[in-house]
Amino acid sequence: MTETDKMIEMNNLNRNGLRSWPHSQDYCITCGACSSSCPVSGIDGFDPRKIVRMVSLGMQEEIVSSRWPWICTMCGKCENVCPMEIDIPGLIRKVRSRRDRDKVPGILHKGLDTAIQTGNNLGLPQEDFIFILQDVGEEIAQEPGFEDFTVPVDKIGANILTTIHNKLVNTHTDDLKHWWKIFFAAKEEWTVPSINWEGTNWGLFTGDDERMKIMTGRVAENMERLQAKNLLWPE
Amino acid sequence: MTVKVLIAGNGASAIYTAKELSDNGIDTVLVSGKAIDRVNFLKDTIQKEDTGILIYSDSEIISCQGCVNDFQITIRSNEKDSSENISGIVIAEEYRRKDNFESYGLKPSPSVISLSEITNAIEGRSNHSALLKEGLKVLFLTGCFQESNPVILNEVMTRALQLQKKYHQEVFILTGNLKVGGEGLEKLYRETKEAGVFYAKVNQIPPVIEQLDNGSVTVVYQDEILQSLAKISPDMVVVDEELLPSENLEALARVFELNQDKTGFLQTDNVHREPVFTNRKGILAAGPSRRIADHHAYLDDAANAALVMMNLTGGKIDSDPVGKARIGVVECARCLTCFRICPHKAIRLEGRVTVYADACEGCGICIAECPREYITWTGPGISDDLEKIHISGTAEQTEDFIPVIVAFCCTRSAGKSFRTAADQFQSSLPKGLKIVEVPCAGGISMGHILSTFMKGADGVILLTCHPGNCYSEVGNQYAKSRAENVKSRLSVMGFEKERLHLETIAANMETDFVRIVNAFQKQLLKIGPSSIRKNLKNS
């Protein structure tokens, strides 16, 4: 793999730069439990153990410019199985945070920019969003037993406020129906906010703390504005 | 009579053992190969002067007669010989260290040093302030080409931790498999990691180590995680050491007639022998004399040695206990076969040849080897057990032929696996199986085997301990060579040699026991009843 084809010059590495990271990476006993638990291990030579090793070695430039940290899906299995309790997802997120923002892989970078500007990763205008919700709502109302179904947008004082993953109002609208029908059948008081409804937080995913806070703050604002009691944040 | 114990050695192991013994009121004699001052030695080590420990300084043990509870030891100091009557002996010599420069292809230099040198510098025993300079890149080489040793590993990690933490150096450790199984080693490993010591494991491809004429070293190795080459040019290289037996050990082994392992330590890997025991009763090997695995074992061995010694009587046992060898007084031709072969050195040559009953382990090797069969067991022996076996005659091979199998089982291994098998798989054992338990397979003589065939047995099987596991060191080897000898004779006599079989087995192999005896039965079913059995009159 290109990342480590070059001879590692141990004398030139400054391990102290990364040693202060609080993810226990130096405890690695190279057992490989993380590698075998990882669902994307082997893709383009990726292996969580290699990330831990590179950080531990202090290979700062190599790891930040490497493609490997971006292959990880942040599922957290590795951390679960690690006998030395190394926080591998935290470590990978830290590595991602070290990359210049305009070098973050395209879709993530663009999606997050759009979300900050428009409230969702797709840049979907508010009227289009509401139209899609109502359209899905009408489809449900055609089913027997759901004749009175409507989508409660911006309802004040609901028991549950739910965020929406952008793909559910894009390509996967049918996936909205299952839980909405459960809400209806359970006579639940629920609502969907008309603005800043985006459920994903690519600030979290790309290691961008500042923009992660903005995205999270918007959800909190929605909760306050609509006086909702509970938050359902499936992402 | 009081118990008096002799300790050979003058290091930590000897001191701990001496302290344990004297704390338990046992008279102790310490023989040191190098010169030591009694008062200072006791003050510095045992921390009291009035210990009653007798010290022979700068002395050599030159002979040992007698047996446990009654050894006569000759000690030579300043060309003067003294004699001591001793109940038990503890060999407690220290390790000898050998640097591994050569195996790493390095020449020692001011910046290429041994583990002992860095230890001395850190402990302030040598003036090597240059070695402790802040900011140095230090590379430890340990266990790259041979198994790492827990004692050495402990020292490597302790020194690495000190260099990294106290002297603010940057420490790298290049190692093979790191065996952190010893007590406290895993904790120490974590501490070094926490302090920032860096480890690289080189198991698949050996590192390439280059030393220039100016002494500087460059190491290129394969980082096994990243599968990529890495290069380090340290300011200083610390090379590990190998732990070898003390230079006194070979002479002591000769004087006391003790077995040594391949590298010269006093205990072979024998599963039937307890810690600190040697092939001789009343002579123990403690600490580095038997290659202990970690520094905590110094204390364990000292305590175990004291426990064994506290059970000594301080005098000979007068009564004749059961299960020992006894040499026929009149018949003995003094051929000295028994003296030569006894693995426990329990044969006494004074006037006539007798057995030291205290030292005899009852293996029976001498009984089986005595050319005139003049040695017997005190109490019942193998022949008495054979007497009890009755075999009835049988006709030509028929469908209901049940082969009679006599299995000689060493009580330490096959005897145990048989008892478990009888308990768990009784119905799977051959119906004609008869067991003769023996104290050691080395006690089964050619006479025993042949007389078993004469009684009409269809097959004889010898089940001995695995190679290297014989409590009497060589009993299983004797059994093997006798079996081969009898087989060749059977062929000459026109008797099927397949009727005799030998297998090695361990005490926990009950399923293998069942498999082995059934396979043997299958073979006998094919051959049919023995010609001797066919001619037996049915009784």
Interchain contact B168–A (C-beta under 8 A): no
Q: A6 vs B194: CB contact, 8 Å cut-off?
A: no
Q: Cα distance from A18 to chain B (closest Cα, Å)?
A: 11
Burial class from Cβ neighbours inside 10 Å (0-12, 13-18, 19+) for residue B351 reads exposed
Inter-residue contact B71 to B316 (CB < 8 Å): no
Q: Which of B307-316, B346-355, B456-465 has the highest mean pLDDT?
A: B456-465
Query: What confidence tens digit (pLDDT) does each residue in B94-112 have?
Result: 999 999 999 999 999 999 9
Residues 6+ apart with CB under 8 A from B208: B219, B220, B221
With cut-offs at 50, 70 and 90, classify the pLDDT of residue B395: low
Q: Is B124 helix (H, G, I), strand (E, B) or coil?
A: coil
CB-nearest partner of B232 from A4, A10, A26: A10
Quick one: angle between helices B12-23 and B297-310, nearest 10? Answer: 40
pLDDT of residue B297: 85
The residue in chain B having the minimum alpha-carbon distance to the alpha carbon of residue A2 is B228
Closest CA to B495 of B521, B444, B463, B533: B533
Sheet with B27-31: strands ordered across? B53-56, B27-31, B4-8, B88-91, B283-285
| Tokens linked to B144 | 């790259």
CB-nearest partner of A8 from B194, B223, B233: B223
State mean pLDDT over B128-145.
Answer: 90
Q: B226 vs A8: CB contact, 8 Å cut-off?
A: yes
- First-last CA distance in chain A: 33
CB-nearest partner of A9 from B170, B194, B231: B231
pLDDT of residue A100: 84
> Which chain B residues touch A54 with a CB distance below 8 Å?
226
Q: Which of A3, A5, A6, A8 to mutate to test the interface with B (most CBs of B within 10 A)?
A: A8
Mean of per-residue pLDDT scores for chain A = 89
pLDDT of residue B351: 82
Quick one: angle between helices A174-185 and A126-141, nearest 10? Answer: 60
> Which chain A residues touch B228 with a CB distance below 8 Å?
4-8
pLDDT of residue B94: 92
CB-nearest partner of A15 from B196, B201, B225: B196
Q: B230 vs A11: CB contact, 8 Å cut-off?
A: no
Q: A15 vs B231: CB contact, 8 Å cut-off?
A: no
Q: B228 vs A7: CB contact, 8 Å cut-off?
A: yes
Q: Report d(CA B253, CA B74) in Å as an integer.
A: 15
pLDDT of residue A30: 85
More confident residue, B294 or B71: B71
Angle at A160 between CA A154 and CA A166, to 5 degrees: 65
Q: B231 vs A6: CB contact, 8 Å cut-off?
A: no
Inter-residue contact A28 to A81 (CB < 8 Å): no
Q: Is B504 helix (H, G, I), strand (E, B) or coil?
A: strand
CB-nearest partner of B225 from A19, A27, A49: A49
Cα torsion B12, B258, B343, B290: sign = positive
Contacts 24+ apart (CB under 8 A), A31-38: A31/A83, A33/A78, A33/A81, A33/A82, A33/A83, A34/A77, A34/A78, A34/A79, A34/A81, A34/A82, A34/A86, A34/A88, A37/A77, A37/A78, A37/A80, A37/A81, A38/A72, A38/A77, A38/A78
Q: B137 vs A15: CB contact, 8 Å cut-off?
A: no
pLDDT of residue A2: 44
> Which chain B residues touch A19 with a CB distance below 8 Å?
196
pLDDT of residue B526: 93
The residue in chain B having the minimum alpha-carbon distance to the alpha carbon of residue A63 is B226
Closest CA to B367 of B408, B328, B333: B328
Q: Cα distance from A91 to chain B (closest Cα, Å)?
A: 17
Q: Cα distance from B445 to chain A (closest Cα, Å)?
A: 53
Chain centroid to CA B157: 29
Q: Report d(CA B260, CA B252) in Å as an integer.
A: 11
Q: A7 vs B231: CB contact, 8 Å cut-off?
A: yes
Q: A19 vs B194: CB contact, 8 Å cut-off?
A: no
Q: Is B341 helix (H, G, I), strand (E, B) or coil?
A: helix
Interchain contact B137–A (C-beta under 8 A): yes
pLDDT of residue B317: 58
Mean of per-residue pLDDT scores for chain B = 91
What is the DSSP-derived secondary structure letter of residue B207? Answer: P
> Tokens 């001619």 identify what position?
B535
Q: A11 vs B220: CB contact, 8 Å cut-off?
A: no
State mean pLDDT over B490-501.
Answer: 93
Interchain contact B232–A (C-beta under 8 A): yes
Query: What confidence tens digit (pLDDT) does each residue in B343-362 have?
Result: 999 999 988 899 998 899 99
Among B261-270, B407-416, B419-428, B461-470, the least confident range: B261-270
Q: B196 vs A19: CB contact, 8 Å cut-off?
A: yes
Q: State which residues of chain A have pLDDT below 50.
A: 1-2
Cα torsion B413, B414, B417, B422: sign = negative
| Tokens linked to B270 | 């024998």
Query: What confidence tens digit (pLDDT) does each residue in B66-96 have?
Result: 999 999 999 999 999 999 999 999 999 999 9
Say if residue B148's pLDDT is above 50: yes
Domains of chain B with CATH codes: 4-95+246-316 (3.50.50.60), 97-242 (3.50.50.60), 325-379 (3.30.70.20), 383-538 (3.40.50)
With cut-offs at 50, 70 and 90, classify the pLDDT of residue B320: low
Q: B224 vs A57: CB contact, 8 Å cut-off?
A: no
Q: Report d(CA A19, CA B212) in Å as an integer.
A: 32
Q: B225 vs A5: CB contact, 8 Å cut-off?
A: no
Work out how many CB contacts closer than 8 A connect A with B: 51
> Which chain A residues touch B223 with a CB distance below 8 Å?
4, 8, 53, 57
Closest CA to B381 of B392, B365, B394, B396: B365
Q: Report d(CA B142, CA B97) in Å as an integer.
A: 14
SS3 content of chain A, % helix, strand, coil (to 5): 55, 5, 40
